[in-house]
Structures are given as C-alpha cells and as structure tokens.
Structure 1
Amino acid sequence: MPGPGAHLGYCLGTSLGLMHLSDHRFSPAHALIYALNGFFGPDIGSFCEWLAMTSGAGEKAAAVVMRLVHDPLGYAILMGAPLGFAYSRVTWRLVREAPLNFRQCSLLVVAGGISHFFLDNLFEEEGRTPMMRWVISTGWWETDAPVDVAAVLVVGALSCALLGGFAWMYRSSFTGTLLPPHFNTNPTPPTRHAALFLLAVLSLYCLWCIQRTYWSVPRIPAVGEEADLGVLVFLGLFFFLPHSLCIAAMHPRTKPLPSGTVFPDDVL
C-alpha cells in the first residue's frame, strides 16, 4: 500500500507542475496544504484507530471515525470546512504576501483527500479494492467480444466528435489567425468552452456504456473488451477532479492597470 513517500511525492510533484505552469499563482502554501491532505488527511481515521488500540480506550469510537473519514466523500464533508478554516488562519499568520482564504484552503483539503484515494485504490489490496473491481467489471471478459456494428458506429462517431470538436475550437492555433469572433467578445475563456464540450461528449460516451452494460438484457459489450466506463469514471473522480480543484484554488490572475491611471503621488 502507498506510504508517506508515495503520497507526498505524488502531491508535491503535481504541485511543482502547477506552480510552474501557473507562474506561481499555485504557491508553495497551496502545495503544502494539498500535500498534507494527500498524505495524512484521510489517514487521520487510521491514526485514531491505531492510537485507540495502543491505549486500549475508545476503540469503537475510533473505528467509527475511521469508517467516516477514510472515505473520499466522508472526508470532504466532515473535514473540508474545519480544516479549511484552520489552514486559512495559519496562512494569514505565516504567509504575508498572499495568504489563502477559507475557500482556497477548503478546495485544497478536498483535493488532497481525493488524491490520497487515487493511489490507495490503485495500489492497496493488490489492486483488488472495491473501486478497481468495479472498474474491471465494466469490461467484457467472458469470451472474445463479438463484432458489433452499432458499437463501432457510436464509439467512432463520439471519438471523432472529441477530436474534431477540440480541433475546431482551437483551430486558430493551427492556422495562425485570431480566435473566432464569438470567443473574442465572450468573457468566458475558450478553455472553459472546451472543457464543457469534452464533458458533454464523454458523458454521452459513458451513457452509451451504461446502456450496453447495465440496461441491455442480455448484456452487450459496450466498447469491445475495454472497461471504458470504469476507467473514465475513475479518472474523472480521482484524477481530473482534484487537479481541477487545485486550479480553482489558485490565486486570481493579476490584471494590468488601465493606461492613464493616476496615483496619489502623481497628483502631488
């Protein structure tokens, strides 16, 4: 199972990438809060359970804490707000230039807790955790998957939509021209449009897999032998979601002052 080195290495390594790409709007303070919760966060329950066992007191209470906190949703609900408030108070005292507020710290607490389970699900119990067993169960392992024209057409169309739609939205990057006019006048950045587009198409892809895997009687392979439904859900919850929360917790981008701005010193 992953230990301190694995959890800290994963979170701090990710943080270095975010710091570099964001021009340090994701700061070292962000990285430390994210890494602390990615390493020790959900294991608070395990620590309480171990402490109760060694002291011989409160074992049942510690077991309850373990069940509630050592869970992605339970950790987010129970610990997100309290730890977010505590970390924000600490950063206001220690980080003078750009302290983190309650919202930023809460997002990092939740992101770290989810990242903790990203490694736990992959590398605990010889990879046979309930989550990984479900991921594998969305594939087709009984016999060789039969050739299905409907699956080829639907999966092919959705895959082409992903590639073609992405290329169209960023076509200016390939042609060297300006962004499309509606992007220039819309305050929403193109990246957000692209993210919503990808989410919509991948949701249709997952819906297709659900229909074939769970609603069809008898069951029909959704994408040949592949477990695409489980893989997409797993990556969405445990990889893309925590990194999106980290991005949402970044300091806002500083905007240049408009030309002609007059400061008090300029008036004197």
Structure 2
Amino acid sequence: MLKRTLIAALTLAIPTAHADGTWEPIWSFANVSLNYLDWSQGTEERTASNASKGDFFFLELEGGAGYKWGEFYGFVDLENPDSDRSEHDGRDNRRSAAKVTSHMYLGDSPFSLYLHVYDFRDYGFDVREQDQIIGLGYRHTFANGLWLKSFLGAAHVNSNSYSGQNGYMLGWVAGYDFTLLEQKLSVTNWHEQTFKRDRGYIEDNYVNGSAGELGTNGAVSLWWLPVPAITAGVQYRYAHNKLGTPDAYQNAMIYTLKYNF
C-alpha cells in the first residue's frame, strides 16, 4: 500500500513541475568519496555475537539538486569494493547501500511531501532490506545560518524475512557553515528515529534476540573545504537497536575524503 502511494506521488509531482518549465536547478552538488569506517573497540566487543562489526573502506557517490518545486538527495555506497573475501571465513565481504530522499514543496510554505527509499544488500549473507518512508517534511533556515530539514512519516519495509508496515520514522538533516582561521568549515547531523516497529520485523531481522520497537541511527560530522574541489571530514557514527544488533549501542569514526565535481 505504501509503495503504491510512493510511486503515485512521484508520478503526480514530476509532470506538474515539467509543465511549469521549472527544471533548471537553483542549487546542485555532486561528489565521489573514499571513506574508512572504524568501529570502536566497545562496539566490536558488544556485537561479537550479535551481527559482529568490523572496520571497512567504502566508496560513495553522492549528489543533490533543488528546484522551485522540490529537492532531491541521494547516495550509493560500495563497501569493501576491493575484496570479495572476508579475512576469517571466506564469504563474500562486499555490501552496498543506496538512498534517495525528496521534499516536494507544498506551495510557498515550509512544509513538503517527504519521500525516502533506502536499500541495503549484504552479498555474503544474502541479506537485503529496503525501507520506504512517506510523510510530511518541514524546512527552515535560522537567522544565524543554521539550516534544518526534518520529516515524520510512515514506514514500510521489504526484507528477507519480513515485508509490510513497520511503524514510523522521525528524522532530520541539519547543518551550519562557518569560517575559522580563514578556513571554510561546516558541521552537519543526520538522524533517524524509528518507533512502533512491527513485532514481526524486530523478532526476525536481528541476530540472537529481538530488538526494541525504538531504533536510533545517525552521524555528526565536521567538514573542511580547503579548496572548492576537495572536502575532508570526520564523522561520529552512532546507532542503537539498528544494523542487525539488538539492545546494544554502536559507534564508529568515519574518515572521509571527497572530490567535488
């Protein structure tokens, strides 16, 4: 039901924008990055028997664009792209993740129709999951330059063992640009809070136990832009009752180098 609604909403929004002749982007960006994710020692210990976590490299292609009628953001990640074997058991160690989000503006108001699809594949364990969110968005830029793009929506999931409605998601992306010692810097945060998740999902999609109905997922990042073509960053990654591990806090540092097109 939610998937059909998602497709219908996109189908209705795009022709309207085309008829108005507003396909010229107001802003856009794109980059490719090399990233290294380093899980904390505590996370590796806490998850040793519950969807164990190991450090890895990943490549990411990321981009977004904004129009008079709406905006889009997306990325594709390839984890362990240089290796098809893990170091200890010989299985395929590659994974992929992709995400597309959009705010379809509701007139001149700060509110929007929010659409969100996230797809994850683990080829060694033959695990797949796709999350689809449809809801209401809200966007605001404060006088000091801090910007916020938030949403609240109903969730639908398709995975190996469960497909159906899966509660709700509240989330946001926020950022603040500033200059320090004549260097361009920015701080960003993305956060997703899932709640009232279906009992069948949290019993069947976690290792060695059932997770709670509330799940937390996000990252806080510091970015440095020494020249227009290069962005370097460090990210604090956090999660709880997510990523296959029940009832355990997980955290990591991600070190990123981007090339901006």
Normalising by the residue count of structure 2, what TM-score does the alignment of the two structures yield?
Answer: 0.26
Which structure shows the bigger proportion of residues in strand conformation?
2
Name which structure has the greater RCO, CA cutoff 8 Å, separation 6+.
Answer: 1
